[in-house]
Amino acid sequence: METKKVQVAIIGAGFGGLTAAALLAQKGLQVAVVEQNKYPGGCASSYKRKGYWFETGATTLVGLDPDMPLRYLLDQTDIQLPALRLETPMQVRLTDGTVITRFPGLEDWIREAERVFGPEGQQAFWETCYAISRKVWRTSLRQLSFPFSNLSDVWEAVMSVRWEQIGLVPLAFSTMRDLLSRHKLLDNERFVQFVDQQLLITAQNYHPEVNVLFGATALCYTLYGNYYLPGGLRQLAERVVQYLEEKQGQMLYGRVVQKVVPLPQGGYEVTTDKGLIEAEFVFFNVPINNVHSLYQEENIKRKLKPILLPAEEVNGAVTWGIVFDRTLTTPQVLHHQLHVPGGVPFIGSDSIFVSLSHPEDELRAPKGKCVASVSTHVHHPHTTWITQKKDLEKWVVRFLAEQGFFKEEDVHFVQAATPGAWIEWTGREWGQVGGYPQYQRIKPWQMKDARLDGKKAYLCGDTVYPGQGIPGVCLSGIIAAKKLLRDHF
């Protein structure tokens, strides 16, 4: 069996791992990314069917504003993206047909929220959320030692602290329920339902569980630059891969990692279905549940066990890819959250998210055609096994036709994918997506630090702190890379 020797082995080509790979390669380390699929990007990639490109999971690109992690990565590497800024980030349609436009300007959005939900409390609530989100992003790249796992982390945090960062600490102890109550919005049932479905996109949970620190930031992502990448989000991962390979890094596609064993002499042996890899350092860019299965050291398994979330506390997804004729009635706004009266059949979720290809993007679909990537959450994916794919395909076409996205006869292709497809595509246990949901009982310092074993194994991705969304996983890769470099170089 072939044995390949590298300095750094990164397991998984999701965007957190690619971020770490690029930053380590930039510093001269020899990096190899091990990926079971033939495309990079993980849950922020694209796949091809029938000649069209569909988004795998994430569909919106956020994080290019100042003080945000993706901006930092691009500035450090000089990677260029062909990104198109969206004039309108999203529209939301309630069950009664009311259309809400998530305007990118704070004042415009407040007026829209007051129009739909009434004026009481809206301005103060959204001004508070936006102020918190700005502080969070300014802090994110200044406190790269958090969560702490040694005294050096604490010292670095103290040396980098600013007064506004101290003011953020109490927000980890209160929930969005508390914030809604403070602004007399908790009894505004229509607004609370809107907030919950918006939180589900980014925080994977609802207002009683999501802490203010994360929830306020999550609710404000449409108030920052939202971008579209011609050709799909795969372009983001592929440009980072190109940079990595220019720095002599390697992409090892089509290799399924079976186990990782620490070696007595130091370093790690990574067993794949196509041979062995020996590495001085190893990065796990997979969910913590998968890390627990892969890493063969009982002491570390015991330490990980208390922070693992069970299947009933994570989310899976059902996704649909649809191709239809673009007409004059096709929505101009590309991203939509649609509340579903009575819930999605067989699943029970309350909304679906619809992302349309740009009308000028002929890399994803020929002119005159539109690609829609549609998704919804599946709670408890381990027990909510979806087998009614054809019924769901018929339902989504009928529902979107009723919403005016197209006529049923204009649809050329539709295909549904269940959590089982996510298991096959990503290898993520139970087909979980979107990272770990926010739970109030889990405080930030209880989340897993980037150091896995205190030696030369590290973690990044959407189930470690901080994760979720492209900006979050990018930040997790930045933190992990910085800690490795500080620990050993």
Contacts of 173 (CB under 8 A, 6+ apart): 211, 443
Spatial distance between the Cα atoms of 18 and 283, rounded to a whole number of angstroms? 11
Fold adopted by 3-47+62-81+230-310+435-488 = FAD/NAD(P)-binding domain (3.50.50)
Spatial distance between the Cα atoms of 33 and 363, rounded to a whole number of angstroms? 27
275 membership: H or E segment, kind and range: strand 275-284
User: What pLDDT sits at residue 150?
Assistant: 86
Spatial distance between the Cα atoms of 341 and 352, rounded to a whole number of angstroms? 11
If we measure between CA atoms, which residue out of 269, 281, 257 comes closest to residue 455? 281
**Do 15 and 235 contact (CB within 8 A), yes or no?**
no
For the chain, list residues with pLDDT below 50. Answer: none
If we measure between CA atoms, which residue out of 98, 136, 92, 126 comes closest to residue 223? 126
Give domain 311-431's CATH number out of 3.40.50, 3.40.109, 3.30.1480, 3.30.519.
3.30.519
Check residue 390 and give left, alpha or beta (phi > 0: left; psi -120 to 50: alpha). Answer: alpha
User: What pLDDT sits at residue 25?
Assistant: 98
Q: 335: how many CB neighbours lie within 10 A of its CB?
A: 23
15-to-59, 229, 236, 452, 458 alpha-carbon distances in Å: 13, 15, 9, 19, 15
Spatial distance between the Cα atoms of 483 and 145, rounded to a whole number of angstroms? 7
378-to-131, 383, 388, 429, 467 alpha-carbon distances in Å: 32, 10, 14, 14, 19
pTM: 0.95
Chain centre distance of CA 358:
21
Spatial distance between the Cα atoms of 322 and 314, rounded to a whole number of angstroms? 26
Spatial distance between the Cα atoms of 224 and 201, rounded to a whole number of angstroms? 16
**Do 445 and 148 contact (CB within 8 A), yes or no?**
yes
Encode pLDDT of 101-155 as tens digits: 999 999 999 999 999 999 999 999 999 999 999 999 999 898 888 888 888 888 8
Tell me the chain's radius of gyration from C-alpha atoms.
22
Encode pLDDT of 142-163 as tens digits: 888 888 888 888 888 788 877 7
User: What pLDDT sits at residue 338?
Assistant: 98
**Extents of the domains making up the chain:** 3-47+62-81+230-310+435-488, 105-223, 311-431
User: What pLDDT sits at residue 447?
Assistant: 79
Spatial distance between the Cα atoms of 208 and 433, rounded to a whole number of angstroms? 21
User: What pLDDT sits at residue 341?
Assistant: 97
Contacts of 120 (CB under 8 A, 6+ apart): 184, 185, 188
Locate 383 and state its tokens: 């027990």
Spatial distance between the Cα atoms of 240 and 260, rounded to a whole number of angstroms? 25
Spatial distance between the Cα atoms of 334 and 355, rounded to a whole number of angstroms? 6
Greatest Cα pair distance, the chain, in angstroms, is 68
**Do 335 and 349 contact (CB within 8 A), yes or no?**
no
Q: b/e string for 161-183 if b means 16 or more Cβ within 10 A?
A: eeeebeebeebeebbbbbbbeeb
Spatial distance between the Cα atoms of 247 and 235, rounded to a whole number of angstroms? 19
400-to-35, 372, 393, 396 alpha-carbon distances in Å: 35, 10, 11, 6
β-strand partners of 276: 3, 271
User: What pLDDT sits at residue 23?
Assistant: 98
Spatial distance between the Cα atoms of 201 and 352, rounded to a whole number of angstroms? 10
Contacts of 303 (CB under 8 A, 6+ apart): none
Give, as one character, the DSSP assignment of residue 51: T
β-strand partners of 414: 322
